[in-house]
Amino acid sequence: GAGVSQSPSNKVTEKGKDVELRCDPISGHTALYWYRQRLGQGLEFLIYFQGNSAPDKSGLPSDRFSAERTGESVSTLTIQRTQQEDSAVYLCASSLVGRFYGYTFGSGTRLTVV
Amino acid sequence: GQQLNQSPQSMFIQEGEDVSMNCTSSSIFNTWLWYKQEPGEGPVLLIALYKAGELTSNGRLTAQFGITRKDSFLNISASIPSDVGIYFCAAEEVEYGNKLVFGAGTILRVKS
């Protein structure tokens, strides 16, 4: 597609349940990123995939968070045993590698844990 | 990790006024970028700066990459109501190419 696509756009889940968030990057973008944005706050780095290299997981806040990426396409972010503090907008972005033109972001998934 | 200090945190200005916001850091960066985020959307790239000292304009927006590579500013001239949103600075880490660190954002409100 023309842009970065994220699904679902909204997700309400009960505390303790697992959730999966999906990101479809722009075709040809080898780098993919996940960020978390809590209400009224900035963007918090979670994880970074680039090509076939080992992902940079340094931003994942706990072992309840994990992410996968299939080749240079779709990525899923999984949060296990969700907690109320996981409520946030989860943003995915992709970029070309080489001369850096910045990221293109999706519209995000708003996760609410009740 | 590396941090960007963005200010002001928020601004409430009259339509037609000029706006200025900036980001500083104790670290040096390869690239500075400015994004705008509107409600319910992801951030959208406004301006990218690649060289120390570079001054770039995009319509009413002007941004500069500081000569020390540790700071950047964004100016918006003659603000209009659709300028409302959250503006983020971002910078590409030298050690980890293509990885961005973000400022906390400046909330801009425009009174017409």
B46 chain-A contacts, CB cut-off 8 A: none
- Rounded distance, CA A32 to CA A72, Å? 8
B6 chain-A contacts, CB cut-off 8 A: 42
Q: What is the DSSP code (8-state) at residue B89?
A: E
- Rounded distance, CA B82 to CA B89, Å? 19
Q: Which two structure tokens, joined as six digits, stand for A104?
A: 């293109």
Question: Does B42 sit within 8 Å of A107, measured CB to CB?
Answer: yes
Name the pLDDT band for B1 (thresholds 50, 70, 90).
low
Residues B93, B97, B101: CA angle, nearest 5 degrees: 35
3-state secondary structure of A19: strand
Q: Report pLDDT digits (tens) over A15-66.
A: 999 999 999 999 989 899 999 999 888 899 999 998 888 899 999 999 999 9
Distance from CA of A2 to the nearest CA of B (A): 14
Q: Which two structure tokens, joined as six digits, stand for A98?
A: 């080489």
Distance from CA of B100 to the nearest CA of A (A): 8
| Backbone phi, psi, residue A84, to 5° | -60, -30
Question: Does B90 sit within 8 Å of A102, measured CB to CB?
Answer: yes
pLDDT at B99: 82
